[in-house]
Amino acid sequence: MAKALDGRVAVITGGSRGLGRAMGLALAEEGSSLALVARDADKLEETAQACRSKGARVETFLCDVTDESSVERTRAGVIGAFGAAHILINNAGINIRKPIHEFTLDEWMRVTNTNLTSVFLMCRAFVPHMKGHGYGRIINMTSIMSHVSLPGRTAYSSTKTALLGLTRALSQELASDGITVVGISPGPFATEMNTPLMQNPETNAQFISKIPVGRWGRVEEIGALARFICSEDAGFITGTDILIDGGWCAQ
Ligand code: NDP
């Protein structure tokens, strides 16, 4: 039976684990081929196998998305393997939580390069290959921290707010090509990024008390949203983000 994303090729940065893995599994179920991008070969391969079990063609690409030449090698590898790219999910991200006066410049730049500059590098590399199909989707993993914030999040919030600005501007450049640019802004999801918060019973309870629905997000819920954004039905959604936060930002 035909599936909604048959014939599509999706490039997912940070595709080895967490939310990237969940989006890979969801798009594989819809028939998309996948190019999974990250630095840890074992985790990438494990996720690739799980996505292949859904029937998808999956290739993995070892890449540091903060490195211009590494991104260029990935672009050449993906286009060599698949011949095209239709969906780009800029999901790789890190968080360093500490007061501003404790940040080193190196830490600040690591967060900025991973969460923001990487998106510039990936979009610059892949947008030319995404044009001309009459369809395209760029999903940027923004955050509730694109809208609100917390102490210790100066670097993270700065990058995620800027990424929402990039999302808006790029949507204007690509709208006439049929390529939408959409942010997904998650609230707290139970992934490795949040392990330090979840392992501390006090911060875990504090977080849950701030989420009106009373639980951490489930990664499958991000997969389902990405699947919808990639569908034809979502072609009129662009230049904005979608909050998926259990009501966090509505308070
Ligand atoms: P994880 O820490 O679980 O996964 C991060 C992924 O990014 C890994 O696959 C990692 O792979 C990859 N990555 C990190 N740095 C690089 C790099 N330099 N080059 C290539 N790949 C890299 O994070 P989540 O799944 O939780 O988060 C995914 C995205 O969603 C992030 O952008 C995050 O900011 C955002 N988000 C997450 C929230 C949450 O609650 N989990 C809330 C709001 C936003 P590897 O280390 O192998 O390279």
Contacts of 64 by beta carbon, 8 Å cutoff, 6+ apart: 39, 70
Domain carrying residue 32: 9-191+220-242
Q: Are 119 and 140 in contact (CB under 8 A)?
A: yes
Expressed in angstroms and rounded, the spacing between residue 192 Cα and the centre of ligand 1 is: 8
Catalytic positions, please? 156
CA-closest residue to ligand 1 atom 41: 189
User: Concatenated DSSP letters for 4-22?
Assistant: TTTT-EEEEETTTSHHHHH
pTM score of the predicted model: 0.98
In a domain, residue 209? The reply is no
In a domain, residue 89? The reply is yes
Per-residue pLDDT of the chain (251 residues; tens, 9 = 90+): 899 999 999 999 999 999 999 999 999 999 999 999 999 999 999 999 999 999 999 999 999 999 999 999 999 999 999 999 999 999 999 999 999 999 999 999 999 999 999 999 999 999 999 999 999 999 999 999 999 999 999 999 999 999 999 999 999 999 999 999 999 999 999 999 888 888 999 989 988 999 999 999 999 999 999 999 999 999 999 999 999 999 999 99
Expressed in angstroms and rounded, the spacing between residue 2 Cα and the centre of ligand 1 is: 32
In the chain, how many domains are there? Answer: 1
pLDDT tens figures, 240-249: 999 999 999 9
What pLDDT does 207 receive?
84
Ligand 1 binding pocket includes 131 (Cβ within 6 Å): no
Ligand 1 binding pocket includes 43 (Cβ within 6 Å): yes
Expressed in angstroms and rounded, the spacing between residue 96 Cα and the centre of ligand 1 is: 12
Q: How far apart are CA 92 and CA 192, in angstroms?
A: 12
Give the Cβ contact number of residue 11 at 10 Å.
Answer: 29
In a domain, residue 211? The reply is no
User: Concatenated DSSP letters for 27-48?
Assistant: HHHTT-EEEEEES-HHHHHHHH
In a domain, residue 87? The reply is yes
Strand partners, 10: 34, 87
CA-closest residue to ligand 1 atom 39: 189
Ligand 1 binding pocket mutation candidate from 19, 106, 244 (most atoms within 8 A of CB): 19
In a domain, residue 4? The reply is no
In a domain, residue 248? The reply is no
In a domain, residue 64? The reply is yes
Expressed in angstroms and rounded, the spacing between residue 7 Cα and the centre of ligand 1 is: 27
Q: For position 87, which CATH number holds? A: 3.40.50.720
pLDDT tens figures, 187-244: 999 999 888 888 999 989 988 999 999 999 999 999 999 999 999 999 999 999 999 9
Q: How far apart are CA 191 and CA 47, in angstroms?
A: 15
In a domain, residue 198? The reply is no
Q: Are 22 and 50 in contact (CB under 8 A)?
A: no
What pLDDT does 166 receive?
99
